[in-house]
Amino acid sequence: MASAPAEVAPSPRTAGLVRGPRGAFRWTAYVLAVTAFAAAVPTPLYPRYEAEFHFSSGALGLMFAAYTPGVFLTLFFVAPQAERLGRKSVLRLGMAFTALAAVVFAFSPGLLALALARFISGLAVGATTSVATAAMSDLEPSRDQHHVARVAVAANFGAFALGVLLSALLVEFGPDPTRWVYLLPVLASAVGVLALAAIPETAVGGGTARPFLLPRIAVPPSVRRPFWVAVGGIAACYSIYGLFAALVPSYVRTGLGASAPIAAGAVVCLMFGTAALMQLATFDLRDRRALLLGFPALLVALVALVVILPWRSWGLLAIVSTSLGGAVGLTFMGSVTLSDRIAPEEARDGMLAGFYLAGYLALAVPTVGVAELSDRVGLADAGAVFALALLPVVALLYWRCYRTPTPPGGEGRPRTAPPDLAG
């Protein structure tokens, strides 16, 4: 991580946004959260799009997966240029992509336009995620990278939960639900641009003529065993993320007979909201310790998912969604903090590029597979197959985690006492 340059004072017009030593850190976390919030807004509408445009669950899965190539494009080709172009410039681009995706969603006439909107949404996420996290690392007053990672994870999951819930309410009770709901991400992006005007630039070489950079995925042999455990953890979490975001709303409509968007939104919000709250409830857990609890919790929740899907019960689905949210929250946090801890400074960018590459592939590939299978056997059976296929993977990851002690210190980021997460 580059050392932070001298802070540039915000303009008088925007200085009021940054108050206290954590003001810039909080607003950068907000910018990070905006892309997750915007990606969540279409979720309650997926069943409506499916019915209105007459496409199958398999086509819905492919449309959802269009997000992933967009993420890769900006994550690997745009985000690495942040030190050369300035982090704030790249984050402004992320906010612009977020607003553009919302506009395309609002006026989509069919499946291809929806896929384009998802692709642009992926561009926003790829341009924002690593750059905002790097800026947060420089702006965190005590330089506690565990706090940075925890806030980043909570911002992503919490913003997704909030986006789904607000969208469901507007779609349920507002006028012209497939149009006006997309004002939410447009307004959130506009606030993000104002926030960026008040945040100091943290890129050391911002605005200089640095060479075009591309991350090279490479993992030092000394940390490969714990790295693969961390990669497996984030891949498992993202596959569950994709299942809930893309297909659970359709299951609620067809399996539970609830066509109201608020019903699907509540289930998805429950899972993601619990994952976000887990970051606040377990501030002493990190790295391998979190994974040793998270993997068994995932096993129990996946078994429960297999059992309850054929029952088509609201109460059971709510319990399992909460359980999965807690397990995903622990596992995701453990994976992120473990990969950060073991990464040597000189190999950090390449390791993290590979780490998130695995995660976003896991978001797309299983989702498409389950969607295609659901066209043949139904969503309940396809979801059960997904959970059964993931069970041995998670069991193997737990065994590898148990047998793989974390290297002392791991040459990773410095640690301090965990600060107040409300700050």
3: left (phi over 0), alpha (psi -120 to 50) or beta: beta
d(CA 312, CA 322): 16
- 311, two tokens: 């029952």
CB 401 within 8 Å of CB 288: yes
Report the pLDDT averaged over residues 96-119.
96
In angstroms, what CA-CA distances link 371 with 41, 72, 246?
A: 20, 22, 9
Nearest Cα residue to 303 out of 368, 410, 389: 389
**Which one has a higher pLDDT value, 407 or 218?**
218
CB 143 within 8 Å of CB 415: no
pLDDT number for residue 15: 45
d(CA 242, CA 295): 18
> What's the CA dihedral at 65, 70, 72, 75 to 10 degrees?
-140
Q: Which domains does the chain have, with CATH numbers?
A: 21-203+221-403 (1.20.1250.20)
Report the pLDDT averaged over residues 183-195.
97
Question: Could you give the count of Cα atoms lying within 13 Å of 404 in the half-sphere of its Cβ?
Answer: 22
- 202, two tokens: 């943290």
pLDDT number for residue 89: 94
CB 17 within 8 Å of CB 98: no
- Buried (b) or exposed (e) across 18-27, using 16+ Cβ within 10 A? beeebbbbbb
Tell me the pLDDT band of 342, cut-offs 50, 70 and 90. confident
- 46, two tokens: 């997926």
207: left (phi over 0), alpha (psi -120 to 50) or beta: left
70: left (phi over 0), alpha (psi -120 to 50) or beta: alpha
Lowest-confidence segment of 223-227, 344-348, 354-358 by average pLDDT: 344-348
In angstroms, what CA-CA distances link 273 with 38, 368, 409?
A: 16, 24, 31
pLDDT number for residue 123: 96
Tell me the pLDDT band of 337, cut-offs 50, 70 and 90. confident
Question: Could you give the count of Cα atoms lying within 13 Å of 274 in the half-sphere of its Cβ?
Answer: 19
CB 347 within 8 Å of CB 218: yes
pLDDT above 70 for 273: yes
**Which one has a higher pLDDT value, 142 or 391?**
391
d(CA 256, CA 318): 12
Which amino acid belongs to residue 219?
Answer: V
CB 238 within 8 Å of CB 117: no
d(CA 400, CA 324): 21
CB 102 within 8 Å of CB 124: no
Q: What pTM, to 2 d.p., does this model score?
A: 0.87
CB 156 within 8 Å of CB 33: yes
CB 284 within 8 Å of CB 418: yes
CB 153 within 8 Å of CB 332: yes
Task: Tell me, rounded to whole angstroms, the distance of Cα 54 from its chain centroid.
Answer: 29
Give residue-wise pLDDT tens across range 362-420.
999 899 999 999 999 998 999 999 999 999 999 999 999 999 886 665 444 444 433 33
Lowest-confidence segment of 208-212, 269-273, 332-336 by average pLDDT: 208-212
Q: What are phi and psi of 398, to 5 degrees?
A: -65, -45
Give residue-wise pLDDT tens across range 164-185.
999 999 999 988 888 999 999 9
72: left (phi over 0), alpha (psi -120 to 50) or beta: alpha
- Buried (b) or exposed (e) across 365-393, using 16+ Cβ within 10 A? bbbbbbbbbbeeebbbebbbbbbeebbee
Mean pLDDT of the chain: 86
pLDDT number for residue 208: 54
Tell me the pLDDT band of 103, cut-offs 50, 70 and 90. very high
